Structure 1
Amino acid sequence: MITMKDIILDGHPTLRKIAEVVPLPPSQEDQQTLKDMLQYVQDSQDPEKAEKYGLRSGIGIAAPQINVSKKMIAVRVTDKAGTLYEAALFNPKIISHSMEKAYLTTGEGCLSVETTIPGYVPRYARITVKGYDVDGNEQKLRLKGLPAIVFQHEIDHLNGIMFYDHIDKQKPLAPIEGATPVDR
Protein backbone atom coordinates (compact mmCIF):
# COMPACT_ATOMS: atom_id res chain seq x y z
CA MET A 1 0.00 0.00 0.00
CA ILE A 2 1.24 3.46 -0.95
CA THR A 3 0.98 6.07 1.81
CA MET A 4 1.96 9.73 2.08
CA LYS A 5 5.43 8.73 3.33
CA ASP A 6 6.03 7.02 -0.04
CA ILE A 7 5.40 10.22 -2.00
CA ILE A 8 8.56 12.20 -2.62
CA LEU A 9 8.43 15.98 -2.48
CA ASP A 10 9.42 18.82 -4.76
CA GLY A 11 13.20 19.12 -4.91
CA HIS A 12 13.82 15.34 -4.97
CA PRO A 13 16.01 14.53 -8.02
CA THR A 14 13.75 11.69 -9.27
CA LEU A 15 11.01 14.25 -10.02
CA ARG A 16 13.28 15.90 -12.60
CA LYS A 17 14.45 12.72 -14.36
CA ILE A 18 12.99 11.35 -17.57
CA ALA A 19 11.37 8.08 -16.55
CA GLU A 20 12.28 4.78 -18.22
CA VAL A 21 9.96 2.93 -20.58
CA VAL A 22 8.35 -0.11 -18.93
CA PRO A 23 9.20 -3.30 -20.85
CA LEU A 24 6.11 -5.16 -22.05
CA PRO A 25 4.68 -7.53 -21.13
CA PRO A 26 5.00 -5.91 -17.70
CA SER A 27 6.74 -7.73 -14.87
CA GLN A 28 4.71 -8.76 -11.82
CA GLU A 29 6.54 -6.09 -9.81
CA ASP A 30 5.59 -3.35 -12.31
CA GLN A 31 1.99 -4.61 -12.41
CA GLN A 32 1.81 -4.48 -8.60
CA THR A 33 3.25 -0.96 -8.50
CA LEU A 34 0.67 0.23 -11.05
CA LYS A 35 -2.18 -1.43 -9.12
CA ASP A 36 -0.91 0.16 -5.88
CA MET A 37 -0.83 3.58 -7.54
CA LEU A 38 -4.45 3.29 -8.66
CA GLN A 39 -5.41 2.00 -5.20
CA TYR A 40 -3.78 5.09 -3.64
CA VAL A 41 -5.83 7.44 -5.83
CA GLN A 42 -9.04 5.49 -5.08
CA ASP A 43 -8.36 5.39 -1.32
CA SER A 44 -7.35 9.07 -1.20
CA GLN A 45 -10.80 9.98 -2.58
CA ASP A 46 -12.62 7.92 0.06
CA PRO A 47 -12.93 10.22 3.11
CA GLU A 48 -12.89 7.34 5.63
CA LYS A 49 -9.81 5.62 4.13
CA ALA A 50 -8.05 8.96 3.56
CA GLU A 51 -8.47 9.84 7.23
CA LYS A 52 -7.60 6.36 8.48
CA TYR A 53 -4.34 6.21 6.47
CA GLY A 54 -3.54 9.93 6.46
CA LEU A 55 -3.76 10.30 2.68
CA ARG A 56 -3.84 13.60 0.80
CA SER A 57 -6.63 13.49 -1.75
CA GLY A 58 -5.43 13.14 -5.32
CA ILE A 59 -6.89 12.58 -8.77
CA GLY A 60 -3.69 11.29 -10.31
CA ILE A 61 -0.23 10.00 -9.49
CA ALA A 62 2.85 9.15 -11.53
CA ALA A 63 5.47 6.54 -10.61
CA PRO A 64 8.28 9.13 -10.23
CA GLN A 65 6.26 10.59 -7.35
CA ILE A 66 6.83 7.37 -5.40
CA ASN A 67 10.52 7.40 -6.40
CA VAL A 68 10.06 4.83 -9.19
CA SER A 69 11.52 6.34 -12.36
CA LYS A 70 9.32 4.39 -14.78
CA LYS A 71 6.60 5.49 -17.18
CA MET A 72 3.47 4.65 -15.17
CA ILE A 73 0.47 6.78 -14.22
CA ALA A 74 -2.83 6.24 -12.43
CA VAL A 75 -5.75 8.66 -12.79
CA ARG A 76 -9.26 8.72 -11.32
CA VAL A 77 -11.22 11.84 -12.19
CA THR A 78 -14.81 12.78 -13.00
CA ASP A 79 -15.65 15.25 -15.75
CA LYS A 80 -18.34 17.96 -15.62
CA ALA A 81 -20.98 15.52 -16.89
CA GLY A 82 -20.19 13.11 -14.05
CA THR A 83 -18.38 10.56 -16.24
CA LEU A 84 -15.62 8.75 -14.35
CA TYR A 85 -12.26 8.41 -16.07
CA GLU A 86 -10.18 5.81 -14.28
CA ALA A 87 -7.00 4.44 -15.82
CA ALA A 88 -3.71 2.92 -14.78
CA LEU A 89 -1.29 2.97 -17.71
CA PHE A 90 2.20 1.89 -18.62
CA ASN A 91 4.09 4.07 -21.12
CA PRO A 92 1.31 6.63 -21.70
CA LYS A 93 1.90 9.01 -24.59
CA ILE A 94 -0.08 11.89 -26.04
CA ILE A 95 -0.48 10.82 -29.68
CA SER A 96 -2.61 13.79 -30.79
CA HIS A 97 -3.85 17.06 -29.34
CA SER A 98 -5.95 20.08 -30.22
CA MET A 99 -4.41 23.39 -31.12
CA GLU A 100 -6.84 24.95 -28.65
CA LYS A 101 -5.57 25.40 -25.12
CA ALA A 102 -7.34 25.17 -21.76
CA TYR A 103 -6.46 25.86 -18.14
CA LEU A 104 -7.89 25.16 -14.70
CA THR A 105 -9.37 28.31 -13.18
CA THR A 106 -8.29 27.08 -9.73
CA GLY A 107 -4.72 26.43 -10.90
CA GLU A 108 -3.15 23.00 -10.44
CA GLY A 109 -1.92 21.18 -7.38
CA CYS A 110 0.32 18.16 -6.93
CA LEU A 111 0.82 15.46 -4.30
CA SER A 112 4.58 16.19 -4.48
CA VAL A 113 4.14 19.95 -3.92
CA GLU A 114 3.01 20.82 -0.40
CA THR A 115 2.49 24.53 -1.01
CA THR A 116 -0.05 26.28 -3.21
CA ILE A 117 1.58 27.77 -6.28
CA PRO A 118 -0.80 30.30 -7.82
CA GLY A 119 -0.96 30.55 -11.58
CA TYR A 120 -2.65 29.22 -14.67
CA VAL A 121 -1.12 26.23 -16.43
CA PRO A 122 -1.71 26.16 -20.20
CA ARG A 123 -2.70 22.68 -21.42
CA TYR A 124 -4.19 21.24 -24.60
CA ALA A 125 -8.00 21.35 -24.51
CA ARG A 126 -8.31 17.87 -26.08
CA ILE A 127 -5.85 15.00 -26.27
CA THR A 128 -5.67 11.36 -27.30
CA VAL A 129 -3.53 9.21 -25.03
CA LYS A 130 -2.18 5.78 -25.89
CA GLY A 131 -0.80 3.47 -23.22
CA TYR A 132 -0.99 -0.07 -21.88
CA ASP A 133 -3.16 -1.34 -19.05
CA VAL A 134 -1.96 -3.46 -16.12
CA ASP A 135 -2.09 -6.60 -18.30
CA GLY A 136 -0.15 -4.97 -21.14
CA ASN A 137 -3.16 -4.41 -23.45
CA GLU A 138 -3.09 -1.25 -25.57
CA GLN A 139 -5.57 1.45 -24.54
CA LYS A 140 -6.52 4.66 -26.34
CA LEU A 141 -8.35 7.42 -24.53
CA ARG A 142 -9.85 10.56 -26.05
CA LEU A 143 -10.04 13.24 -23.37
CA LYS A 144 -11.16 16.83 -22.94
CA GLY A 145 -11.64 19.27 -20.08
CA LEU A 146 -10.45 18.25 -16.61
CA PRO A 147 -9.56 14.64 -17.55
CA ALA A 148 -7.32 15.92 -20.39
CA ILE A 149 -5.60 18.35 -18.01
CA VAL A 150 -5.01 15.64 -15.38
CA PHE A 151 -3.50 13.20 -17.89
CA GLN A 152 -1.17 15.93 -19.22
CA HIS A 153 -0.09 16.77 -15.65
CA GLU A 154 0.76 13.11 -14.91
CA ILE A 155 2.50 12.51 -18.25
CA ASP A 156 4.61 15.63 -17.57
CA HIS A 157 5.90 13.89 -14.42
CA LEU A 158 7.29 11.11 -16.64
CA ASN A 159 9.35 13.72 -18.46
CA GLY A 160 10.69 15.49 -15.36
CA ILE A 161 8.32 18.44 -15.77
CA MET A 162 6.44 20.00 -12.85
CA PHE A 163 3.13 21.85 -13.39
CA TYR A 164 4.56 25.17 -12.22
CA ASP A 165 7.19 25.04 -15.01
CA HIS A 166 4.34 26.04 -17.38
CA ILE A 167 3.15 29.07 -15.36
CA ASP A 168 3.98 32.51 -16.77
CA LYS A 169 6.39 33.84 -14.14
CA GLN A 170 5.65 37.50 -15.00
CA LYS A 171 1.84 37.23 -15.02
CA PRO A 172 0.86 33.94 -13.31
CA LEU A 173 -2.83 34.84 -12.97
CA ALA A 174 -3.33 36.53 -16.34
CA PRO A 175 -5.99 34.62 -18.29
CA ILE A 176 -4.34 32.63 -21.08
CA GLU A 177 -5.23 34.24 -24.40
CA GLY A 178 -7.40 32.07 -26.63
CA ALA A 179 -7.60 29.30 -24.00
CA THR A 180 -10.77 27.85 -22.49
CA PRO A 181 -11.05 28.27 -18.71
CA VAL A 182 -12.02 24.95 -17.08
CA ASP A 183 -13.74 24.76 -13.69
CA ARG A 184 -13.15 21.64 -11.63
Structure 2
Amino acid sequence: MITMDDIVRDGHPVLRQTAEAVELPPTEEEKQQLADMIEFVKNSQDADIAEKYGLRPGVGLAAPQINISKRMIAVHCEDEDGEEYSYALFNPRIVSHSVKRAYLATGEGCLSVDEAIPGFVPRYQKIRVKATTLEGEDIDIRLKGFPAIVFQHEIDHLNGIMFYDHIQKDQPFAEPENSVAIGRS
Protein backbone atom coordinates (compact mmCIF):
# COMPACT_ATOMS: atom_id res chain seq x y z
CA MET A 1 0.00 0.00 0.00
CA ILE A 2 1.27 3.46 -0.93
CA THR A 3 1.29 6.01 1.91
CA MET A 4 2.20 9.71 2.09
CA ASP A 5 5.71 8.60 3.12
CA ASP A 6 6.12 7.12 -0.38
CA ILE A 7 5.33 10.44 -2.11
CA VAL A 8 8.48 12.33 -3.07
CA ARG A 9 8.39 16.04 -2.39
CA ASP A 10 9.09 19.06 -4.54
CA GLY A 11 12.82 19.41 -5.14
CA HIS A 12 13.40 15.64 -5.58
CA PRO A 13 15.27 15.16 -8.88
CA VAL A 14 12.89 12.45 -10.19
CA LEU A 15 10.14 15.08 -10.45
CA ARG A 16 12.17 16.94 -13.09
CA GLN A 17 13.07 13.92 -15.22
CA THR A 18 11.30 12.72 -18.34
CA ALA A 19 9.88 9.33 -17.37
CA GLU A 20 10.66 6.22 -19.42
CA ALA A 21 7.97 4.55 -21.51
CA VAL A 22 6.69 1.28 -20.10
CA GLU A 23 7.55 -1.59 -22.42
CA LEU A 24 4.35 -3.45 -23.25
CA PRO A 25 3.19 -5.84 -22.08
CA PRO A 26 4.11 -4.46 -18.65
CA THR A 27 5.84 -6.63 -16.07
CA GLU A 28 3.88 -7.99 -13.09
CA GLU A 29 5.80 -5.51 -10.92
CA GLU A 30 4.70 -2.58 -13.12
CA LYS A 31 1.09 -3.79 -13.07
CA GLN A 32 1.23 -4.01 -9.26
CA GLN A 33 2.76 -0.52 -8.99
CA LEU A 34 -0.02 0.93 -11.16
CA ALA A 35 -2.72 -0.98 -9.25
CA ASP A 36 -1.27 0.39 -5.98
CA MET A 37 -1.33 3.92 -7.44
CA ILE A 38 -5.05 3.83 -8.33
CA GLU A 39 -5.80 2.25 -4.94
CA PHE A 40 -3.94 5.11 -3.24
CA VAL A 41 -5.89 7.78 -5.13
CA LYS A 42 -9.23 6.11 -4.31
CA ASN A 43 -8.24 5.58 -0.66
CA SER A 44 -7.15 9.21 -0.34
CA GLN A 45 -10.72 10.28 -1.20
CA ASP A 46 -12.30 7.97 1.41
CA ALA A 47 -12.48 10.06 4.60
CA ASP A 48 -12.15 7.08 6.97
CA ILE A 49 -9.21 5.46 5.16
CA ALA A 50 -7.52 8.82 4.60
CA GLU A 51 -7.74 9.65 8.29
CA LYS A 52 -6.59 6.18 9.40
CA TYR A 53 -3.48 6.28 7.18
CA GLY A 54 -2.86 10.04 7.18
CA LEU A 55 -3.46 10.45 3.43
CA ARG A 56 -3.94 13.84 1.77
CA PRO A 57 -6.85 13.67 -0.66
CA GLY A 58 -5.82 13.61 -4.31
CA VAL A 59 -7.46 13.06 -7.69
CA GLY A 60 -4.37 11.79 -9.49
CA LEU A 61 -0.92 10.31 -9.05
CA ALA A 62 1.96 9.87 -11.47
CA ALA A 63 4.67 7.22 -11.01
CA PRO A 64 7.49 9.81 -10.64
CA GLN A 65 5.69 11.01 -7.49
CA ILE A 66 6.48 7.65 -5.88
CA ASN A 67 10.06 7.76 -7.21
CA ILE A 68 9.38 5.51 -10.22
CA SER A 69 10.49 7.22 -13.42
CA LYS A 70 8.03 5.40 -15.69
CA ARG A 71 5.08 6.62 -17.75
CA MET A 72 2.21 5.52 -15.51
CA ILE A 73 -0.65 7.59 -14.08
CA ALA A 74 -3.70 6.95 -11.94
CA VAL A 75 -6.70 9.30 -12.01
CA HIS A 76 -9.92 9.08 -10.01
CA CYS A 77 -12.19 12.13 -10.22
CA GLU A 78 -15.61 13.39 -11.24
CA ASP A 79 -16.55 15.98 -13.83
CA GLU A 80 -18.89 18.91 -13.23
CA ASP A 81 -21.92 16.63 -13.82
CA GLY A 82 -20.79 13.99 -11.33
CA GLU A 83 -19.62 11.49 -13.97
CA GLU A 84 -16.74 9.39 -12.65
CA TYR A 85 -13.39 9.09 -14.41
CA SER A 86 -11.26 6.32 -12.98
CA TYR A 87 -8.18 5.25 -14.94
CA ALA A 88 -4.89 3.45 -14.29
CA LEU A 89 -2.82 3.95 -17.45
CA PHE A 90 0.48 3.03 -19.03
CA ASN A 91 2.13 5.43 -21.50
CA PRO A 92 -0.65 8.05 -21.63
CA ARG A 93 -0.15 10.72 -24.27
CA ILE A 94 -2.15 13.70 -25.40
CA VAL A 95 -2.77 13.23 -29.13
CA SER A 96 -4.88 16.35 -29.68
CA HIS A 97 -6.25 19.32 -27.75
CA SER A 98 -8.55 22.29 -28.08
CA VAL A 99 -7.41 25.83 -28.77
CA LYS A 100 -9.65 27.00 -25.93
CA ARG A 101 -8.09 26.91 -22.49
CA ALA A 102 -9.40 26.20 -19.02
CA TYR A 103 -8.07 26.69 -15.50
CA LEU A 104 -9.18 25.88 -11.97
CA ALA A 105 -10.60 29.02 -10.35
CA THR A 106 -9.08 27.89 -7.03
CA GLY A 107 -5.69 27.04 -8.53
CA GLU A 108 -4.05 23.61 -8.54
CA GLY A 109 -2.42 21.60 -5.80
CA CYS A 110 -0.15 18.58 -5.83
CA LEU A 111 0.58 15.72 -3.44
CA SER A 112 4.31 16.38 -4.00
CA VAL A 113 4.00 20.09 -3.11
CA ASP A 114 3.29 20.71 0.57
CA GLU A 115 2.54 24.43 0.38
CA ALA A 116 -0.18 26.22 -1.56
CA ILE A 117 1.16 28.00 -4.64
CA PRO A 118 -1.37 30.65 -5.68
CA GLY A 119 -2.14 31.39 -9.30
CA PHE A 120 -4.03 30.20 -12.36
CA VAL A 121 -2.63 27.24 -14.29
CA PRO A 122 -3.66 27.46 -17.95
CA ARG A 123 -4.56 24.08 -19.46
CA TYR A 124 -6.37 22.90 -22.58
CA GLN A 125 -10.15 22.79 -22.09
CA LYS A 126 -10.45 19.55 -24.10
CA ILE A 127 -7.90 16.83 -24.76
CA ARG A 128 -7.77 13.42 -26.39
CA VAL A 129 -5.57 10.84 -24.68
CA LYS A 130 -4.33 7.48 -25.94
CA ALA A 131 -2.96 4.96 -23.45
CA THR A 132 -2.95 1.33 -22.37
CA THR A 133 -5.06 0.29 -19.38
CA LEU A 134 -3.97 -1.88 -16.48
CA GLU A 135 -5.90 -4.70 -18.19
CA GLY A 136 -3.85 -4.27 -21.38
CA GLU A 137 -6.54 -2.57 -23.48
CA ASP A 138 -5.54 0.29 -25.79
CA ILE A 139 -7.91 3.19 -25.21
CA ASP A 140 -8.63 6.54 -26.78
CA ILE A 141 -10.48 8.93 -24.46
CA ARG A 142 -11.84 12.42 -24.93
CA LEU A 143 -11.82 14.60 -21.84
CA LYS A 144 -13.02 18.10 -21.07
CA GLY A 145 -13.15 20.41 -18.09
CA PHE A 146 -11.96 19.12 -14.72
CA PRO A 147 -10.91 15.58 -15.83
CA ALA A 148 -8.93 17.12 -18.74
CA ILE A 149 -7.10 19.35 -16.26
CA VAL A 150 -6.32 16.40 -13.96
CA PHE A 151 -4.94 14.34 -16.86
CA GLN A 152 -2.76 17.23 -18.05
CA HIS A 153 -1.40 17.72 -14.52
CA GLU A 154 -0.45 14.02 -14.24
CA ILE A 155 0.98 13.76 -17.77
CA ASP A 156 3.07 16.86 -17.01
CA HIS A 157 4.67 14.87 -14.16
CA LEU A 158 5.82 12.30 -16.73
CA ASN A 159 7.62 15.09 -18.57
CA GLY A 160 9.29 16.66 -15.53
CA ILE A 161 6.88 19.60 -15.42
CA MET A 162 5.30 20.89 -12.22
CA PHE A 163 1.94 22.71 -12.21
CA TYR A 164 3.47 25.95 -10.94
CA ASP A 165 5.75 26.08 -14.00
CA HIS A 166 2.61 27.21 -15.91
CA ILE A 167 1.71 30.07 -13.52
CA GLN A 168 2.55 33.53 -14.82
CA LYS A 169 5.22 34.72 -12.35
CA ASP A 170 4.54 38.47 -12.54
CA GLN A 171 0.73 38.13 -12.64
CA PRO A 172 -0.27 34.78 -11.11
CA PHE A 173 -3.98 35.64 -11.22
CA ALA A 174 -4.05 37.02 -14.76
CA GLU A 175 -6.86 35.19 -16.52
CA PRO A 176 -5.32 33.08 -19.30
CA GLU A 177 -6.34 34.20 -22.79
CA ASN A 178 -9.19 32.38 -24.53
CA SER A 179 -10.04 30.44 -21.38
CA VAL A 180 -12.86 29.39 -19.08
CA ALA A 181 -12.70 29.03 -15.31
CA ILE A 182 -13.58 25.65 -13.84
CA GLY A 183 -15.11 26.12 -10.39
CA ARG A 184 -13.93 22.97 -8.67
CA SER A 185 -10.76 22.36 -6.73
TM-score normalized with structure 1 length: 0.99
Measure the CA separation in 1 of the matches of 2:89 and 2:168: 30
- AA in 2 matched with 1:119: G
Counterpart position of 2:174: 174
* Corresponding residue for residue 132 of structure 2: 132
**Percent identity of paired positions between Structure 1 and Structure 2:** 61
Structure 2 counterparts to residues 77-88 of structure 1, below 5 A: 77-88=77-88
Quote the Cα distance in structure 1 between the aligned partners of 2:25 and 2:40. 23
Structure 1's unaligned 5+ residue stretches are none
Q: Which moved more, 1:131-140 or 1:61-70?
A: 131-140
Give the drift of 1:137. Answer: 1.3
What is the deviation of 1:98? 0.3
C-alpha distance in 2 between matches for 1:156 and 1:175: 21
State whether residues 130 and 139 of structure 1, in contact with CA within 8 Å, keep that contact through their aligned partners in structure 2.
yes
SS at match of 2:31: helix
> 2:96 aligns to what SS in structure 1?
strand
Which string of whole-angstrom CA distances, capped at 9 and with x for unpartnered residues, describes residues 61-111 of structure 1? 000000000000000010110000000000000011001111100000000
Secondary structure in 1 matching 2:115: coil
Paired AA for residue 86 in structure 2: E
Match in the other structure for 1:165: 165
RMSD over aligned Cα atoms: 0.5
CA distance in 2, matches of 1:133, 1:175: 35
More displaced 10-residue stretch of structure 1: 128-137 or 159-168: 128-137
C-alpha distance in structure 2 between counterparts of 1:148 and 1:5, whole Å? 28
2:72 corresponds to: 72
The offset of 1:139, in angstroms, is 1.1
How far apart are 1:136 and its partner, in Å? 2.0
Q: Distance in 1 between matches of 2:183 and 2:86?
A: 19
Aligned pair count reads: 184
Matched residues in 2 for 1:155 and 1:142: separation?
15
Q: Is 90-99 or 173-182 further displaced after alignment?
A: 173-182
Report the Cα offset of residue 41 of structure 1.
0.3
Q: TM-score with structure 2 length normalisation?
A: 0.98
Aligned to 1:93: 93
Question: Which residue number in structure 2 is paired with residue 51 of structure 1?
Answer: 51
Q: Distance in 2 between matches of 1:68 and 1:175?
A: 34
1:40 alignment counterpart? 40
The DSSP-based 3-state class of the residue aligned with 2:48 is: helix
Instruction: Give 4+ residue runs of structure 1 displaced > 2 Å after superposition.
Output: none
Name the SS of the counterpart of 2:142 in structure 1: strand
Q: Is the 8 A contact 1:25 1:135 kept in 2?
A: no
Segments of 5+ residues of structure 2 without an aligned counterpart are none
Partner of 1:183: 183
In structure 1, the residue matched to 2:22 is 22
Is the contact between residue 90 and residue 131 of structure 1 (CA under 8 Å) also seen in structure 2? Answer: yes
2: CA distance between counterparts of 1:92 and 1:23?
Answer: 13
Does the aligned pair in 2 maintain the 1:26–1:135 contact within 8 Å?
no
